[in-house]
Chains A and B, each alone.
Chain A
Amino acid sequence: MIHVQHLSKSFRVHVRQAGWFDAVRSLFKREYRIVEAVKDISFSIQPGEIVGFLGPNGAGKTTTMKMLAGLLHPTSGEITVGGFVPFEQKAEFKKMMSLVMGQKSQLIWDIPPMETFLVNKAIYEIDDRVFRQTLDELVELLELQPLLTKPTRSLSLGQRMRCELAAALLHRPAILFLDEPTIGLDVHTQEKVRRFIAQYNREHQTTILLTSHYMGDVTALCDRVLIINYGTLMYDGDLKVLTETLTPYKLLEIHFPSVPDVSWDDYGELVAVEEGKVTLRVPREQVPEVSSQFLRNFQVYDLNIQDPPMEEVIKRAFQEGAHVS
């Protein structure tokens, strides 16, 4: 569905120094610097896949997505999305995809979301019957009914984001680019949006590329991730495999009636000792052995085995980038 080969994008950026004198100087002599936002990236995404696109701020995620959506002209390399070259701006291409940016709104600000929906209906040439059907489905899934007639500017961020998703899906795009769709939302709304995306993908086999800073989004939705940093692709593959190679340990959380006095180093790396609770970092292969030892030799209330948090996996991926790929 999406094929990207040796894709690069560089921007010419005007270098501005802070300060009065330098600001004046820059009026006469402009200095430019070439910033390579994306460097020689290649990947493909199959129909129906949900792929997570991860990387710190400024890594090149959004730039790549904007090129995939046809907003930016690539400096070099090739992209085809659904058989189209995005930058050619074909109407058929635009009708088969959608880009939702958490930081940007396509809804018209001073009038109710329904007005934007009606405009999209005409512009995307959506049939009356299909429009009704799709709208009903989206209204139900996203609980939009009370929001449809309120001016967009008076909606909360979470409400607006739900309407934003609906506006982007009315024409039933086969490909959906989601750029931080849950940014700034509270945990409850994040969860709602996440569940909606998963369900929508299941029911319509929409191909989805998603960027997010919330690991919860990625672990809940994506089996496969692309990790990008400094404009280069550092990892492309299974999320589980990544977790296992980068963090070859699990976290063992043991609850005691009272914490015994033992040499924790014999069992694993001590992370924290709290009131009645000890957290250990234990190599994956030793987890069964260590936990059964605890259950046998100590009085234990409860024992949890957890994967290390995604944040840590990603941090390691960036530190050890070269080894992963």
Chain B
Amino acid sequence: MFRKYIALIRMKYVEMLAYRLATIVWMTGAMVQPLITMVVWTNIYPSQSNSFILYFITLIFVERMTSAWDVWELDREIREGTFSNYILRPFHPIHWAIAENIVYKVLFLIVLLPIWGVLAVFVPALRPDVSGWQFVLFVTALFLGATLRFMFSYICGLLGFWVTKVTAIYGMFEVVSLFLSGRIAPLSLLPPILKQISMYLPFRYMIGFPIDIVMGTMTRVEIGYGFFGAMAWAIIFISVLRWLWKAGLKKNQAVGG
């Protein structure tokens, strides 16, 4: 298992180097929307601009570290029939996707951390007062968020066995998630009813929850509930994934050839 992952990670790394420019554009492009949103909010509440800066810079970091593109890949591979290549091999296709995620996210980490470090020298707001425990909780929540977002994206991708152009469905969820995951505004600024709803949906645990840990705005009990919600969704997603995979293979038309 370990050796297989090493081989896949190596291959994905070589592949990523083949797409140097695309990788850079893709990484920096994703920062634009949160930065614009940040500027808007600091203008609305100039007195709290420091906490908005911390929130949105953390958001950029968390968003990149949890980003998921697998639905686009799966949609294309299933529609064009190249997915068969993975089914034929004696290693579950999801491992290829996980290996790819590891490679790109390590790259994001290597690029983003030094940038944060340099920015923090000039912008005091970026030196959050985070205890060791808080940091451990943040990393754990971030990992859970990345897992949830990945599985959600993969689940939508597997729907490609039934529906062509499944990315449309995913796009719809992305819009919902813009609000409920805390990407447009911190969840604390949402109307109470939306905030209530977001607790029961998976989107908050993908992005907003790790950020709120850094911001230090949650009580211990709230953090506990947060982890409980994230874990619950992880279990749900794992079961859905397993079921969809089995059902999807039966439905598979292995097009082309």
| A residues apposed to B, CB below 8 Å | 11, 62, 66, 69-73, 87, 89, 91-92, 94-95, 98-99, 101, 103-106, 108, 110-111, 115-116, 118-125, 151, 179
The answer, yes or no, to whether B14 is at the interface (CB within 8 Å) is: yes
The answer, yes or no, to whether B7 is at the interface (CB within 8 Å) is: yes
Distance (whole angstroms) from the CB of A30 to the closest CB of chain B:
13
Q: Which residue of A lies closest to B18 (CB)?
A: A110
A-B contact pairs, 30 of them (CB 8 A): A66-B254, A66-B257, A71-B84, A71-B88, A72-B252, A73-B250, A73-B252, A91-B90, A94-B89, A95-B90, A98-B88, A101-B257, A103-B257, A104-B81, A104-B82, A104-B85, A104-B256, A105-B85, A108-B11, A108-B15, A110-B18, A111-B11, A111-B14, A115-B11, A119-B7, A119-B11, A120-B89, A122-B4, A123-B7, A125-B4
The answer, yes or no, to whether B10 is at the interface (CB within 8 Å) is: yes
Q: Which residue of A lies closest to B245 (CB)?
A: A89
The answer, yes or no, to whether B249 is at the interface (CB within 8 Å) is: yes
Residues 1-50 of B contacting A (Cβ, < 8 Å): 3-4, 6-8, 10-11, 14-15, 18-19
Given known A-B contacts A104-B82, A110-B18, A62 and B257 have beta carbons under 8 A apart: yes
Q: Which residue, A70, A92, A98, A104, has most C-beta atoms of chain B within 10 A?
A: A104
- Known A72-B254, A123-B90; 8 more pairs at CB < 8 Å: A66-B84, A104-B81, A104-B256, A108-B15, A118-B10, A119-B11, A125-B4, A179-B257
In the bound complex, do residue B90 and residue A111 qualify as a contact, i.e. CB atoms below 8 Å apart?
no
Given known A-B contacts A66-B257, A106-B85, A119 and B18 have beta carbons under 8 A apart: no
The answer, yes or no, to whether B91 is at the interface (CB within 8 Å) is: yes
Q: How many contacts A-B (CB < 8 Å)?
A: 82
- Classify the interface of chain A: helix, strand, loop or mixed: mixed
3 closest A-B pairs by beta carbon, nearest first, are A122-B7, A94-B90, A91-B90
Alpha-carbon gap, A277 to B232, bound state (A): 84
Chain A residues whose C-beta falls within 8 Å of the C-beta of B196 in the assembled complex: none
Chain B residues whose C-beta falls within 8 Å of the C-beta of A89 in the assembled complex: 87, 249
In the bound complex, do residue B91 and residue A11 qualify as a contact, i.e. CB atoms below 8 Å apart?
no
Q: Which residue, B8, B249, B256, B257, has most C-beta atoms of chain A within 10 A?
A: B257
Q: Which residue of B lies closest to A107 (CB)?
A: B85
Alpha-carbon gap, A11 to B11, bound state (A): 36
Chain A residues whose C-beta falls within 8 Å of the C-beta of B89 in the assembled complex: 94, 120, 123-124
Distance (whole angstroms) from the CB of B250 to the closest CB of chain A:
5
Q: Which residue of B lies closest to A73 (CB)?
A: B250
Alpha-carbon gap, A88 to B6, bound state (A): 27
The answer, yes or no, to whether B253 is at the interface (CB within 8 Å) is: yes
